A and B are shown apart, each in its own frame.
Chain A
Amino acid sequence: MATLAELNLPTRLFLQAYPWRRIDPVPWAPLRRPLAESRFALVTSAGFVLPGQERFSAELRGGDVSFREIPADADLSSLVETHRSQSFDHTGIRSDPNLALPLDRCRELVAAGRIGELNHRHLSFMGSITAPGRLVRDTAPEAARRLAGDGVEAALLVPV
């Protein structure tokens, strides 16, 4: 189980005082039709990039709020994990990117008829965003516009 207690002392002290961003009001979009007929997208905060894509920045104060597009046919073994956080063990998602971007599992679910189809692109953010103002104002709405414009009806989001 993940607990704040597993983190190092400076991180714990930071998080104890951290003003978590409360979503209020909480928006709600019901599933419009059965999952077996829906277009599906994945969003991860694992900081994955494809070869040739710009790495996420470890330097930006408050965090890097940008995102990368991962095509549905991407080879997961080619993903490069660039998450800057030292507060978690990176070995799991590096050895099996499906832990944070379960594209192989979703392909299997499409083949099994559990979900309708995968969108042609999926999104990779890097968590570790301590100042989420620009995320909320700019990049998350832009990410949502792209997926909504693609006709995505349902999404699974996976943090690390």
Chain B
Amino acid sequence: MCSQTVGLVAAELERQGIATVAVQLLREVAERVRPPRALWVPFPHGYPLDRPGDPERQHEVIAAALRLLEEPAAGPPVLAEYPRTS
């Protein structure tokens, strides 16, 4: 449900000219809802940036998300996976 909520908010931001990237916890939800730019992460519910108290890992995930904002895209929608394989 949370992944759908941020996807729907992301779409409104994009409609009003703001580039967005949405972290997503469930790949199947990301595929169905289709946020404009989504980074699917392999972490459990409640841990969207992995372990608490691990700034380094949080920066890694955020860096992957920021790169999605900058890269030329084949989308929309764009659905990438963390860690990035390319």
Contacts and interface: CB of A to CB of B under 8 A. Distances in A.
Binding between chains A and B: yes
Interface of A: 1-4, 6-7, 20-24, 26-32, 34-35, 41, 43-46, 63, 85, 87-93, 95-96, 98-100, 102, 104-106, 108-109, 114-115, 123, 125, 127-130, 132, 135-136, 140-141, 143-145, 147-148, 152-160
A147 B16 CA distance: 9
5 contacts: A20-B32, A29-B15, A148-B17, A158-B48, A159-B6
A136 B9 CA distance: 8
Contact of B49 (A20, A98, A132, A155): A98
B6 A158 contact: yes
Contacts of A89: 44-47
Contacts of A136: 8, 12
Given A95-B53, A159-B48, A21 B4 contact: yes
Interface of B: 1-26, 28-29, 32-36, 42-53, 55, 58-59, 62, 65-66, 69-70, 75-77
Given A22-B34, A23-B8, A88-B45, A159 B13 contact: no
A99 B58 contact: yes
A31 B20 CA distance: 9
B27 to A, nearest CB: 9
Contact of B29 (A1, A20, A144): A20
Contacts of A141: 12, 15-16
A83 to B, nearest CB: 8
A7 B2 CA distance: 14
A87 B6 CA distance: 17
B32 to A, nearest CB: 4
Contact of B19 (A91, A96, A144, A155): A155
Most chain A CB atoms below 10 A, which of B9, B10, B70: B9
Contact of B70 (A35, A98, A143): A35
A85 B32 contact: no
Nearest to B33: A20
